[in-house]
């Protein structure tokens, strides 16, 4: 009897420990799911706070949950898969009504997703995909087409260098290794530029989607490569960090080195309008309202589409100047 009691206390402590380790878990939403008050409880496991995009995404989710009357439990995984897995397990233990998360990397989710399925808690993927073969492990996936974003970046480059024959040396700042946007943006871009052998990717390395790492890696690229014509950065933040490195090396960003980025957050758009970036492919972080609608439907047991795509555009410097006054993020 005593043994069983100790085991129960121990497992309770483990769950509390896991919740504490999630970091940034908010206090709001103390009731578990399946509550009698009819309010939906959502557990959301965020990637981190690595970029301007991510900050805008978190704000969108928190504001949309409040507007929809959804009780949100929020955790920040600080770009670590193990933290996201702990957060999801704690949401399962708390019996939330629905779990949503943006997977930091694509692989390694099957076990924890199966645990959620066994606990009959629906899961919604937002922003980033998982590579699980079993698509019954989640109800829907809302987010951008990252391959298409990479293609749009490549298409701009092809047009920009149309009719020219000299070799174009490209350096690439990749997003977080193993993440869907890094894999797909690289693939989409590569698919388009491979048709013309004058385009050469001479260096490609991760900058982890952060400004600091983007700057650090660009400094190394500049030291190792005397002739860089183009920088393709998988997000604005890495591009902005790289701009600092380019200027410190005495070169003019946007002129000596042409720059393409993805996201179109305010800081990126400001640099684009100033001519320091040449082209931005938009990736919308404003997923909150659609996510809450989907959550209400899956909790009610309604069928939802397996894939919900976000609508996006691209920006030239002129278009950035026109869009900036109304830019929300
Ligand atoms: O998953 C979306 C990507 O993650 C954004 O493009 C990047 O800025 C963020 O960190």
Share of the chain above pLDDT 90, in %: 88
| Residue 6, pLDDT above cutoff 70 | no
Measure 56 CA to ligand 1 centroid, in angstroms. 10
Ligand 1 site, CB within 6 A: 50-51, 53-54, 127-128, 181, 209, 235, 237, 262-263, 283
What pLDDT is attached to residue 26? 39
* Pocket probe mutation, ligand 1, options 235, 261, 310, max atoms within 8 Å of Cβ: 235
Tell me the pTM: 0.90
| Average pLDDT estimate for 271-292 | 98
Report d(CA 15, CA 61) in Å as an integer: 25
What pLDDT is attached to residue 106? 98
Measure 209 CA to ligand 1 centroid, in angstroms. 7
Q: Mind listing the domains of the chain with CATH numbers?
A: 41-144+285-311 (3.40.50.2300), 146-283 (3.40.50.2300)
How confident is residue 201, by pLDDT bands cut at 50, 70 and 90? very high
More confident site: 88 or 8: 88
Give the ligand 1 atom nearest the CA of 236.
8
User: How do residues 17-31 score in pLDDT, each as one tens digit?
Assistant: 333 333 333 333 334
Residue 2, Cβ density class (10 Å: 0-12 exposed, 13-18 middle, ≥19 buried): exposed
Measure 50 CA to ligand 1 centroid, in angstroms. 8
Averaged confidence pLDDT in the chain: 91
User: How do residues 87-146 score in pLDDT, each as one tens digit?
Assistant: 999 999 999 999 999 999 999 999 999 999 999 999 999 999 999 999 999 999 999 999
Buried b (16+ CB within 10 A) or exposed e, 32-46: bbeeeeeebbbbbbb
Measure 263 CA to ligand 1 centroid, in angstroms. 7
User: How do residues 34-63 score in pLDDT, each as one tens digit?
Assistant: 545 689 999 999 999 999 999 999 999 999
Instruction: Please name every residue paired with 169 in a beta bridge, in sequence order, or none if there are none.
Output: 200
| Residue 16, pLDDT above cutoff 80 | no
Which DSSP state fits 166? Answer: S
What pLDDT is attached to residue 275? 98
């Amino acid at each position: 009897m005593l043994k069983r009691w100790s085991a129960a206390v121990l497992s309770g402590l483990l769950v509390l420990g896991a919740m504490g380790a999630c970091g940034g878990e908010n206090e709001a939403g103390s009731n578990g799911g399946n509550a009698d008050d009819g309010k939906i409880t959502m557990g959301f496991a965020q990637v981190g706070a690595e970029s301007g995009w991510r900050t805008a995404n978190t704000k969108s989710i928190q504001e949309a949950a409040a507007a929809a009357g959804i009780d949100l439990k929020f955790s920040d995984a600080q770009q670590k898969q193990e933290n996201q897995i702990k957060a999801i397990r704690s949401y399962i233990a708390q019996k939330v009504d629905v779990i949503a998360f943006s997977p930091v990397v694509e692989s390694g989710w099957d076990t924890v997703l199966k645990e959620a399925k066994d606990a009959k808690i629906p899961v919604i993927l937002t922003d980033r995909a998982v590579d699980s073969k079993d698509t019954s492990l989640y109800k829907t996936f809302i987010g951008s087409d990252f391959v298409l974003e990479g293609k749009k970046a490549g298409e701009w480059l092809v047009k920009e260098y149309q009719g020219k024959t000299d070799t174009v040396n490209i350096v690439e700042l990749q997003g977080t290794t193993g993440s869907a946007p890094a894999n797909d943006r690289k693939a989409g871009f590569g698919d388009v530029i491979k048709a013309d052998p004058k385009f050469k990717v001479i260096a490609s390395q991760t900058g982890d989607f952060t400004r600091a790492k983007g700057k650090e890696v660009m400094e190394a690229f500049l030291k190792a490569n005397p002739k860089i014509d183009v920088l393709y950065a998988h997000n604005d933040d890495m591009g902005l960090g790289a701009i600092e490195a380019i200027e410190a090396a005495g070169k003019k960003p946007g002129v000596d080195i042409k720059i393409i980025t993805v996201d179109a957050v305010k800081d990126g758009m400001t640099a684009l309008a100033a001519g320091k970036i040449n082209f931005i492919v938009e990736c919308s972080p404003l997923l909150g309202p659609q996510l809450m609608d989907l959550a209400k439907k899956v909790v009610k047991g309604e069928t939802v589409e397996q894939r919900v795509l976000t609508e996006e555009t691209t920006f030239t410097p002129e278009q950035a100047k026109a869009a900036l006054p109304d830019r929300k993020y």
